[in-house]
Amino acid sequence: MKKISVVAAFGLLLFAALSYADEGVHWTYEGHAGAKHWGDLEKDYATCKLGKHQSPIDIETGKVKTADSDPIKLAYNGAKADVINTGHSVQVEPVDGGALTVDGVEYKLVQFHFHTPSEEKINGKHHAMVAHLVHKSADGKLAVIAVLFDLGRENGTLQPIFASLPAKAGDKHPLDGTINVSGLIPANHASFMFEGSLTTPPCSEEVHWIVMKTPMTISSRQLDAFKKLYPMNARPTQPTNGRVVQAGR
Compute the residue count for the chain.
Answer: 249
Amino acid at 58: D
Choices 2-10, 40-48, 125-133, 228-236; region in contact with Zn ion by CB under 5 A: 125-133
Q: Are 134 and 169 in contact (CB under 8 A)?
A: no
Burial of 65 (0-12, 13-18, 19+ CB in 10 A): exposed
Closer Cβ to Zn ion, 78 or 205, answer by number: 205
Is residue 235 involved in binding Zn ion (CB under 5 A)?
no
Give the shortest CB-161-to-Zn ion separation in angstroms.
Answer: 15
Which lies closer to Zn ion via its Cβ, residue 91 or residue 222?
A: 91
Q: Which stretch binds Zn ion (CB under 5 A): 11-19, 28-36, 129-137, 207-215?
A: 129-137
Q: Which CB, 99 or 113, lies closer to Zn ion? A: 113
Q: Say which residues have a Cβ less than 8 Å from residue 148's Cβ, sequence separation at least 6.
A: 118, 120, 122, 127, 129, 130, 211, 212, 215, 216
Q: Which window, 10-18, 27-35, 126-134, 167-175, contacts Zn ion (CB under 5 A)?
A: 126-134
* Complex with Zn ion: residue 78 or 87, whichever CB lies closer: 87
Tell me, by CB under 5 A, how many residues bind Zn ion: 1
Q: Which is nearer to Zn ion, 63 or 145 (CB)?
A: 145
Residue 113: CB minimum distance to Zn ion, A: 6
- Catalytic machinery residues: 88
Taking CB under 5 A as the rule, does residue 126 contact Zn ion? no
By CB under 5 A, tell whether 132 contacts Zn ion: yes
CB of 200 to Zn ion, least distance (A): 7
Contact residues: Zn ion, CB under 5 A: 132
